[in-house]
């Protein structure tokens, strides 16, 4: 893959299928990558939902590998990400993977095994499958398959994890031939240019400034520049994965006058597991956090597979999920149970705010317009038993009706300490303080749990909407504790 079009110094461009293409006068801060690509004749990517649920718009984007020395290909929803936020980066669409007479292995297997009928969704499947095809360690020849994938039957004999395409929908072909195509894939050949790209240094993010249609998108060079900009422009909207903002732009017509891209700021991308706490950079994607922690925070390990889809997790960040202060953001209940704190930073300095004190109202928080979330801190040691229960209409890739997170220690049959985070049952995420009190110091028995479950069913102020009734939400709170007891009562984290 080589750049074939000369660029003026400093000109905004995107490398697409190996060719550098100027963003052009038609690109605005709110132009999605999908619209930009289609305007240039790359119509394989489709718009199915415009909110990141169907995967028809998926493309491959080059991102730094975990150790920073190489490049990974990740799949993203191009309908959500502003094209200006990808300035200087590399994108591969379905057209760049192969063409008639020279099909990519993913395309060939889908065609030969009947994995495509109407074809509308197929390009998105191809790109999501290609990202898994190129995942380091995916083939058994390269490394071991994750225990989770092995355990739930999603992993094929070639190491392909079907969870990689859980964000892609097909309404006509049926999923068996798609699965068969995925499980028939071999390892990339050495001459494959995209496989070769994995072994080369990543393209560093570069400062960006694009002005058009009375709006502006800025990618600061560092955290200091970002904070200076927020200090003088409190109307700025922070941009990371755009998985929430992109929906507002597409479906609600939102047009923020200033977008500040903070997803590649090095100061927001640290991950450290120390003796006393875990520190997670607010700019890391959820996929990066999941792989970096490698199960060392079990409650988060249970959360991540239930958090939307891989296409979303490849872009979404903890900073963005908490920054919106949404009452149905799935990360908040888990982090509340973990007693997490947020580091808020501005030109005036930093302050550490316990997450339990962060939310002040519906989509409101103590974060000031001049501040951004720099990192999330989780104190150690962790509780012996934890669980994350998500109640939704679909098993995966859905918004929670109710989310409950538990973290508790049971010592010699007695509940020594417990923290319970709730989402979807109040204007803000919250701790179930009365239920915690009902459990603390009590024997870990069915009688105790029954009494505490009745209390938990009264926590919050649930409303009825199209996702669930208030009565159902309350019932699910109580059932969640009973479910925890039934599944964990024999090994509830007892410690010496």
User: Looking at the structure, do residues 165 and 257 belong to the same domain, yes or no?
Assistant: no
| Cβ atoms within 10 Å, residue 425 | 29
Task: Let me know if residue 95 belongs to a domain.
Answer: yes
Q: Which domain range does residue 423 map to?
A: 383-496
Task: Let me know if residue 277 belongs to a domain.
Answer: no
| Cβ atoms within 10 Å, residue 131 | 27
Token pair 């109307």: residue: 235
Task: Let me know if residue 160 belongs to a domain.
Answer: yes
Mark 46-63 as b/e (b = at least 16 C-beta within 10 Å): bebbbbbbbbbbbbbbbb
What's residue 495's pLDDT? 42
How far is 304 from 307, CA to CA, in rounded Å? 5
User: Looking at the structure, do residues 178 and 239 belong to the same domain, yes or no?
Assistant: no
| Cβ atoms within 10 Å, residue 426 | 16
CATH code (residue 129): 3.10.20.30
Q: Please tell me the total count of domains within the chain.
A: 3
Final residue of a domain: which of 181, 203, 225?
A: 203
Task: Let me know if residue 272 belongs to a domain.
Answer: no
The candidate with the shortest Cα–Cα distance to 342, out of 356, 360, 361, 324, is: 356
How far is 418 from 400, CA to CA, in rounded Å? 23
Mean pLDDT for each 10-residue chunk of the chain (496 residues)?
48 94 91 97 96 96 91 97 96 94 96 93 97 86 45 86 94 92 94 94 90 95 97 96 96 97 96 98 97 97 95 97 95 98 98 98 97 98 97 85 97 96 97 98 97 98 95 97 85 43
Which strands form 271-273's sheet, in the order they lie side by side? 271-273, 277-281, 372-379, 341-346, 349-354
Question: How long is the chain?
Answer: 496
User: Beta strand pairing status for 19-22 and 402-411?
Assistant: unpaired
How far is 367 from 342, CA to CA, in rounded Å? 10
| Cβ atoms within 10 Å, residue 186 | 11
What's residue 397's pLDDT? 80
How far is 222 from 482, CA to CA, in rounded Å? 48
User: Looking at the structure, do residues 252 and 142 belong to the same domain, yes or no?
Assistant: no
Give the three-class secondary structure for 245.
helix
- What radius of gyration, in Å, describes the C-alpha atoms of the chain? 23
The candidate with the shortest Cα–Cα distance to 287, out of 109, 132, 90, is: 132
User: Looking at the structure, do residues 177 and 258 belong to the same domain, yes or no?
Assistant: no
What's residue 67's pLDDT? 84
> Residue 228 burial (CB < 10 Å; 0-12/13-18/19+)?
middle
User: Looking at the structure, do residues 124 and 258 belong to the same domain, yes or no?
Assistant: no
User: Looking at the structure, do residues 217 and 199 belong to the same domain, yes or no?
Assistant: no
Task: Let me know if residue 353 belongs to a domain.
Answer: no
What's residue 9's pLDDT? 52
């Amino acid at each position: 893959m080589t750049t074939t079009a000369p660029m003026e110094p400093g000109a905004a461009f995107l490398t697409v299928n190996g060719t550098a293409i100027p963003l052009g006068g038609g690109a605005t801060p709110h132009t999605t990558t999908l619209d930009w690509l289609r305007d240039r004749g790359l119509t394989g990517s489709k718009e199915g939902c415009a909110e990141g649920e169907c995967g028809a718009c998926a493309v491959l984007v080059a991102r730094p590998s975990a150790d920073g020395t190489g490049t990974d290909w990740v799949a993203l929803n191009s309908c959500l990400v502003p094209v200006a936020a990808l300035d200087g980066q590399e994108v591969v669409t379905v057209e760049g993977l192969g063409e008639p007479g020279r099909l990519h292995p993913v395309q060939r297997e889908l065609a030969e095994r009947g994995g495509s009928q109407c074809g509308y969704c197929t390009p998105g499947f191809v790109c999501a499958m290609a990202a898994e095809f190129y995942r380091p360690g995916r083939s058994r020849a390269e490394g071991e398959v994750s225990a989770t994938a092995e355990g739930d039957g999603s992993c094929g004999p070639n190491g392909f994890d079907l969870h990689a395409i859980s964000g892609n929908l097909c309404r006509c072909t049926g999923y068996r031939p798609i699965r068969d195509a995925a499980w028939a894939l071999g390892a990339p050949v050495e001459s494959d240019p995209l496989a070769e790209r994995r072994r080369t240094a990543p393209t560093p993010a570069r400062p960006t400034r694009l002005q058009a249609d009375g709006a502006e998108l800025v990618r600061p060079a560092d955290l200091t520049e970002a904070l200076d900009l927020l200090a003088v422009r409190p109307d700025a909207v922070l941009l990371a994965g755009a998985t929430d903002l992109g929906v507002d732009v597409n479906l609600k017509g939102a047009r923020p006058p200033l977008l500040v891209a903070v997803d590649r700021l090095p100061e927001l991308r640290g991950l450290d597991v120390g003796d006393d706490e875990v520190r997670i950079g607010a700019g890391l994607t959820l996929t990066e956090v999941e792989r970096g922690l490698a199960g060392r925070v079990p409650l988060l390990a249970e959360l991540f597979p239930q958090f939307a889809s891989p296409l979303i997790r490849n872009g979404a960040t903890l900073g963005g999920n908490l920054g919106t202060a949404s009452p149905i953001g799935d990360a908040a209940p888990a982090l509340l149970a973990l007693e997490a704190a947020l580091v808020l930073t501005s030109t005036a300095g930093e302050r550490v705010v316990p997450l339990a004190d962060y939310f002040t109202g519906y989509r409101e928080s103590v974060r000031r317009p001049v501040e951004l979330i720099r990192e999330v801190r989780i104190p150690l040691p962790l509780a012996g038993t934890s669980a994350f229960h998500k109640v939704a209409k679909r098993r995966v890739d859905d918004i929670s009706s109710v989310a409950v997170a538990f973290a508790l220690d049971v010592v010699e049959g007695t509940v020594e300490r417990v923290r319970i985070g709730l989402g979807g049952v109040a204007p803000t995420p919250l701790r179930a303080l009365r239920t915690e009190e009902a459990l603390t110091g009590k024997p870990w028995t069915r009688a105790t749990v029954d009494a505490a479950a009745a209390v938990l069913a009264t926590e919050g102020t649930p409303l009825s909407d199209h996702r669930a009734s208030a009565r159902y939400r309350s019932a699910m709170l109580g059932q969640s504790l009973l479910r925890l007891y039934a599944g964990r009562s024999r090994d509830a984290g007892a410690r010496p």
